[in-house]
Amino acid sequence: MINNFEIHIDFDRLESNLPKFECEFNFEGVKVYTTKREIVFIGSIGSYETMSIHEATAKCRPKIIAIFDIISFLIGDSITIYDINHRSNSVKHNEDKEETKSNKFKFIFNDVDLSSQLRIILSKIENDKNTTLTLLDKWNKANYLLNVDDSHVLFLDETIINCFNIFELLADTTKKEYERFIDEQSKKLLFEFYTNVGNLDNNKINDKVNQKNRLIKEILIGEFLNLSDKFKYYLQKYRLLDENLSYFVDRIIKVRNSIAHGRIVSNLSVMEYPLTPFYNIVNPEANLVNPIIVLTGVLISKYIGIDIWEEEWEKIKDILEPNPVRVKEVIEGKLAIDINEKNQYNLTWYSVFLYYLSCKDKQRDSIELWFKEEIKKRKFETLDFYNLYEISVILITTQDYELYQILSKIIFKIIKEDVCKWSSYRDIFLHLEVRNIMVEENKKKIDEIIKNHNTRLI
């Protein structure tokens, strides 16, 4: 007996704004194609006389999930079992089996032909099924969790954990290669040492190297490889690792550890927008989630051997925050970079703001002095106002009258012309309060600035 099934998803009845696409392909006996209104799945499951519809559904479900995961990865949006509008089943004799095989590989999305990418994905699944489908499924799930509510805040913590499952899986694919690399480097180090100081022949040097190699590796890296090192090796292998990405990885690993180990929520008095229904540990770092999603996308692409998500990643790279060490070097005059202009480190006035928040009072005083000198060097109309708002707000309580006048002018222009990152200029106060920074005096100063400038205009 053959249990035939047919599944329909109506584009217009989806709860999410799933982008439309065109496709036709076959996956493990299931034919998938689109019409103007629907996505259609047609397939069959070999059965025995007593198999129920529920049993047949359970047997075909893994294939349907895999197809959803493939489509999700190509369009960059989650599609799941919950999107199914209609399903039908029929049982026929073996000789009545419907033909579902198709040699077509078609996938068009946003007028871009992704058919070759689809073919490579299907080939990768055929040769490396479990790992590839696990990666695609976790990516689809991460997008589903992120987009399950309109504000993208309900499952932030869970989204991060899903992405880190992907990172760990990918890091494990190059773990043995990394271990060999470490072994080669430690032997090279020992060989050079004994060559220079031991006055030994090559045979004795090699004996010494083999004796001490395990010990030296344990001293240098410990008994086990940590996730950061394994993951950065994976990034390095695919020529993605740079200084800013390395710092980004360090940041998100800290966030992941906070979630996984149940860190206590640091502020129970105030939340910043978008407001969440629960205390999300990751909420203060919510801006990291989209870069993480895109990073996982491009890393899975590299693993499969395709190039989608690279364009999106290049845009993300341009906004990754630099290591605070670079900000410190600029302030101390050790790094000659104009942070008012685009530069190779992504250093901006906003980077100075983030660094300021992490500093103690004495360091903050030196930042204020540096900021004043840097601002005075430049013509007002050439300033990068988009990145200046946050540091200007945090410094507005200064006792330096000259600096206060400069900051007042900057802040009023930004608010008047609406060139800051926030939907409202007052959102910065919630942002600071969530991080346990007192802002009452800053609020008063900003209100005074607006009032005084408006009075002059009258």
As a whole number of angstroms, the distance between CA 294 and CA 418 comes to 28
Q: Are 120 and 306 in contact (CB under 8 A)?
A: yes
Determine the 3-state secondary structure of 307 from DSSP. Answer: coil
Query: And the tokens for 172?
Result: 């494990």
Q: What secondary structure does DSSP assign to 52-112, as a single string?
A: -HHHHHHHHHHHHHHHHHHHHHHHTS---GGG--EEEEEEE-GGGPPP------EEEETTE
Number of independent structural domains in the chain: 3
The rounded Cα 243 to chain-centroid distance in angstroms is 16
The pLDDT score that the predictor gives to residue 95 is 47
Token pair 């997008």 is found at 143
Whether residues 49 and 118 fall in one domain: yes
Residue 195 has a pLDDT of: 84
**Residues 309, 434 within the same domain:** no
How would you write the pLDDT of the chain (458 residues) with one tens digit per residue?
677 888 888 888 776 677 789 999 999 989 999 998 899 999 887 665 555 667 777 788 899 999 999 999 999 999 998 888 777 766 665 544 455 556 788 999 999 999 999 999 999 999 999 999 999 999 999 999 998 877 777 888 899 999 999 999 999 999 999 888 888 888 888 888 888 886 778 888 888 878 877 787 777 766 668 899 999 999 999 999 999 999 999 999 998 988 887 777 776 778 888 777 877 766 677 789 999 999 999 999 999 999 999 999 999 999 999 999 999 999 999 999 999 999 999 999 999 999 999 998 889 999 999 999 999 999 999 999 999 999 999 999 999 999 999 999 999 999 999 999 998 999 999 999 988 899 999 999 999 999 887 766 54
Domain shared by 21 and 117, yes or no: yes
Torsion-angle region of 440 (φ positive above 0: left; ψ -120 to 50: alpha; else: beta)? alpha
Is residue 338 one of the residues assigned to a domain? no
299, 366: one domain: no
Residue 341 inside a domain? The answer is no
| pLDDT, tens only, 325-356 | 999 999 999 999 999 999 999 999 999 999 99
Q: Are residues 281 and 364 in the same domain?
A: no
Which residues are CB-neighbours of 134 under 8 A, at least 6 positions away? 169
Determine the 3-state secondary structure of 10 from DSSP: strand
* Same domain, yes or no: 6 and 119: yes
Domain termination site, one of 93, 109, 127: 127
**Size of the chain, expressed as the number of residues it contains:** 458
Give Rg (Cα) of the chain: 28
If you ran DSSP here, which 8-state letter would residue 340 be given? T
Give DSSP secondary structure letters for 377-416: TS-GGGS-GGGTHHHHHHHTT-S-HHHHHHHHHHHHHHHH
* 176 plus 286 within the same structural domain: yes
Structural domain harbouring 395:
359-457
What confidence score (pLDDT) does residue 19 get? 78
Assigned domain for 327 exists: no
Spatial distance between the Cα atoms of 422 and 411, rounded to a whole number of angstroms: 13
Tell me: do 114 and 183 sit in the same domain: no
Residue 157 lies in a domain: no
Q: What is the pLDDT of residue 335?
A: 95
Note whether 123 and 191 are same-domain residues: no
CA atoms of 232 and 182, how far apart (whole Å): 14
Residue 178 domain flag? yes
Q: Rounded to whole angstroms, how far apart are CA atoms 5 and 87?
A: 7
Is residue 333 assigned to a domain? no
196 and 298 share one domain: yes
User: How many other β-carbons are positioned within 10 Å of the β-carbon of residue 386?
Assistant: 13
CA distance 107 to 435: 46
Listed residues 266, 291, 317: the one ending a domain: 317
Q: How many CB atoms lie within 10 A of CB 14?
A: 15
Residue 191 shares a structural domain with residue 306? yes
In a domain, residue 81? The reply is: yes
Q: What is the pLDDT of residue 100?
A: 53
CB atoms under 10 Å from CB of 138, counted, come to 20
Q: Examine the domain organization and report whether 222 and 105 are in the same domain.
A: no
Whether 195 is covered by a domain: the verdict is yes
DSSP class per residue in 320-334: PPPPHHHHHHHHTTS
pLDDT for 209 equals 79
